[in-house]
A and B are shown apart, each in its own frame.
Chain A
């Protein structure tokens, strides 16, 4: 076992808990008083009690007892593992099925649209680049202040308008916002 000369945090591993076993010190002599003496002693008389895990982890005798405390029954552990994976599989299958159903609905809707109106169908199939800026937008941005520019840039195209009011059963508590004005976003 190679002796590590590099210091880890705090006391070196060889000294941790081995103070009482350093046979090169006399009783009562504190070993941490003179680090030079410590280092010399450690290298002249290396500790030869091999019952801790090796530094690179090739030998770990402490794992068995720790594992036995954590996992009291191997059978129970495997059962729990299988049940958890089974549960995750059910969730995954449900999600996939729901996604598939939505996709099929969308596909059916597009097929019907194609039969009804081909121009709208073509419009619906267009891929919109969210970062694209129309000429009108670019012209308008030249005469805008910084916060206004940021407001224009932050809105990504192709999404539902944020200000769309969700229909409710009862009217709003604060009434209708008559003074509200929408930010004039330059459109294509």
Chain B
């Protein structure tokens, strides 16, 4: 394996080049909005060597699309030409099988008593064959690896899902969710089935009393990192990569499980945002629109003196359209996520999406209390210790 030492640029660059899908965090469906986080962004100056290895990834995406070209001309590598022939033959054979199977399914559906089990098996097989017939083509794989996947095609959806699951993005998310104990505290468990990404405005400068935050440039948030309350005043841009072609309804929840509960001297759950009946499919627009029409977004306001707060965003799948009452601004505390899910039939085992980040009090929080919550800002600290020698202070000791 290539080492991690600070070495000559061309040695480092190859590690990035040899894995064309090495986009651990950023996804292929590009989160447009100003800054586009470069995946393997280690800008290295090219070597003085006459034929330096290109270390930077070429800027190909939906915004700068490029057509696929053969990596090698015909005749340069006979094995490659032969490979393309084999793949093409296999694909044609599979496509014939697909048409035959589609005919069989249609015939089975026309019978007076269709066998449901056999139909389901045939439909599963059809889906697998459709993906297998195209997955070996270099142009298909290249498009998916470079952000130009067509989500209406089963192959592209499959490739993107494999990439999200196998190349580190999901693993990182689940690591943060479990290490920050979001999973036992907010939900008993969650197994995401869609890629949920959250973008908040970028911090322009940390100098001075309050940090200045960009108005237009939104940046991708890695799960688990610390954000400033100044960044999270406006609702985030939620980007999703959904892997099912049909439209399903989801509920968006934003929870703070570390809201202090003074009366019980413990913590309680605070509901920051609730939006039910969001229609999502693989071709739905990204970022998700119309998210602030139900229970309005209240920006995170970690209290002064408390430890860091974990803010969790959940996208839970619904079975059918739900009618949920709007939660008033002063009734946001004491929200029971488990009871809510059970009441409305939101099943965590079916999938969904999750994301989390952390925040700590900063100079931007008083503004949130003053303008949005319109309550006095609490300040937490330790209880004052009883003065043991209060009686003896000021009195003469040696009489």
Contact residues of A with B, CB < 8 Å? 58-61, 63-65, 67-68, 72-76, 78-80, 82-84, 86-87, 90
Are A67 and B71 within 8 A (Cβ)? Answer: no
Q: B142 to chain A: which residues have CB within 8 Å?
A: 75
Which residues of chain A are near B86, meaning CB under 8 Å?
83, 86-87
Pick from A61, A72, A75, A80: contact of B11, CB under 8 Å = A61
Instruction: Tell me if B72 and A76 are in contact (CB < 8 A).
Output: yes
5 tightest CB-CB pairs across the interface, nearest first?
A83-B83, A64-B14, A73-B71, A59-B3, A61-B11
Please name 20 further chain A to chain B contacts, defined as beta carbons within 8 Å, in addition to the given A75-B138, A79-B87, A79-B138, sorted by A numbering.
A58-B3, A59-B3, A61-B3, A61-B11, A63-B2, A63-B11, A64-B10, A64-B11, A67-B14, A68-B53, A73-B71, A73-B77, A74-B17, A75-B20, A75-B141, A76-B83, A78-B141, A80-B77, A82-B136, A83-B82
Evaluate contact between A76 and B71: CB separation under 8 angstroms. yes
Instruction: A61 to B84: give the CA distance in the assembly, Å.
Output: 33
Q: Is the CB of A64 within 8 A of B83?
A: no
Which residue on chain A has the smallest CB distance to residue B136?
A82
> Within 8 Å of chain A (Cβ to Cβ): is B375?
no
Q: Which residues of A contact B10 (CB under 8 A)?
A: 64-65
Q: Which residues of B have CB within 8 Å of A74?
A: 17-18, 20
* Shortest beta-carbon distance from A93 to chain B in Å: 12
A78 to B20 CA separation, bound complex (whole angstroms): 10
Interface centre among A64, A65, A84 (most CB of B within 10 A): A64
CB-CB contacts of B65-104 with A at 8 A, as 1s and 0s?
0000001100001011011101100100000000000000
Give the residues in chain A near B2, CB-CB below 8 Å. 60, 63-64
Complex contacts, A65 vs chain B, CB 8 Å: 10, 53
Would you give the 0/1 interface string for B14-25, flagging 1 where the beta carbon is closer than 8 Å to chain A? 100110100000
Q: Does B290 contact A (CB under 8 A)?
A: no
| Chain A, residue nearest B10 (CB) | A64
B7 contacts chain A at the CB level, 8 A cutoff: yes
Interface centre among A60, A63, A72, A80 (most CB of B within 10 A): A80
Q: List 17 A-B contacts (CB under 8 A).
A: A59-B3, A63-B11, A64-B2, A64-B13, A64-B14, A65-B10, A73-B72, A73-B77, A74-B17, A76-B71, A76-B80, A76-B83, A78-B138, A78-B141, A80-B79, A83-B82, A83-B87
Q: Which residues of A contact B83 (CB under 8 A)?
A: 76, 79-80, 82-84
Is B323 located at the chain interface by the 8 A CB criterion?
no
B5 within 8 Å of A by Cβ? yes
Measured between alpha carbons, how far is A68 from B2 in the docked complex, in Å?
Answer: 14
* Closest B residue, CB atoms, query A82: B136
Smallest CB separation, A101 vs chain B (Å): 20
Cα-based distance from A75 to B10 in the complex (angstroms): 19
How far, in whole Å, are A76 and B138 apart by their CA atoms in the complex?
A: 8
- A61 adjacent to B7 (CB under 8 Å): yes
Mark each residue of chain B from 204 to 232: 1 if its CB lies under 8 Å from any CB of chain A, else 0. Answer: 00000000000000000000000000000
Contacting residues, chain A, for B77 (C-beta < 8 A): 72-73, 76, 80
Q: Chain B residues with Cβ under 8 A from A80's Cβ?
A: 77, 79-80, 83
B8/A61 in contact, CB under 8 A = yes
The 8 A CB mask of B130-155 against A (1 = contact, 0 = none) is 00000010100110000000000000
User: Min CB distance, B184 to chain A, in Å?
Assistant: 39
Q: Are the C-beta atoms of B7 and A59 separated by less than 8 Å?
A: yes
Cβ–Cβ < 8 Å partners of A60 in chain B = 2-3
Judging by beta carbons under 8 Å apart, are A67 and B3 in contact?
A: no
Q: How far is the CA of A23 from the CA of B365 in the complex (A)?
A: 64
Contacts of B138 in A (CB 8 A): 75-76, 78-79
**Which residues from A are CB-within-8-Å of B3?**
58-61
Q: Enumerate chain B residues within 8 angstroms of A86, measured Cβ to Cβ.
A: 86-87, 90, 136
**What residues of B have a CB within 8 angstroms of the CB of A67 in the complex?**
14, 18
Give Cα distance in the complex from A63 to B53, angstroms.
Answer: 12
Q: Interface readout for B342-365 with A: 1 if CB under 8 Å, 0 if not? A: 000000000000000000000000
| A64 CB, nearest partner CB in chain B, Å | 4
Which residues in B have their C-beta under 8 angstroms from that of A78?
A: 138, 141
Greatest chain B CB density within 10 A among A80, A83, A90 is at A83
CA distance A4 to B239 in the complex (A): 55
- Minimal Cβ-Cβ distance residue in B for A80: B83
Which residues from B are CB-within-8-Å of A73?
A: 71-72, 77, 80
User: From B145, which residue of chain A is reached at the shortest CB distance?
Assistant: A75
> Cα distance A65–B11 when bound, in Å?
8
Closest beta carbon of chain B to A61's beta carbon, Å: 4
Q: Which residue of B lies closest to A59 (CB)?
A: B3
Most buried by A among B8, B80, B82: B80
Query: A63's closest neighbor in chain B, by CB?
Result: B2
Q: How far is the CA of A86 from the CA of B2 in the complex (A)?
A: 29
Cα A67 to Cα B17 with chains together (Å)? 11
Q: How far is the CA of A82 from the CA of B142 in the complex (A)?
A: 14
A138–B86 CA distance with the chains assembled, in angstroms: 59
Whose C-beta in chain B lies nearest to the C-beta of A90?
A: B90
CA distance in complex: A58, B53 (Å): 22
Across the interface, which residues of B come within 8 angstroms of A68, CB to CB? 14, 53
- CB-CB under 8 A from B80, the residues of chain A are 73, 76, 79-80
Docked CA distance A72–B80 (Å) = 12
Residues of A within 8 A of B5 (CB): 59
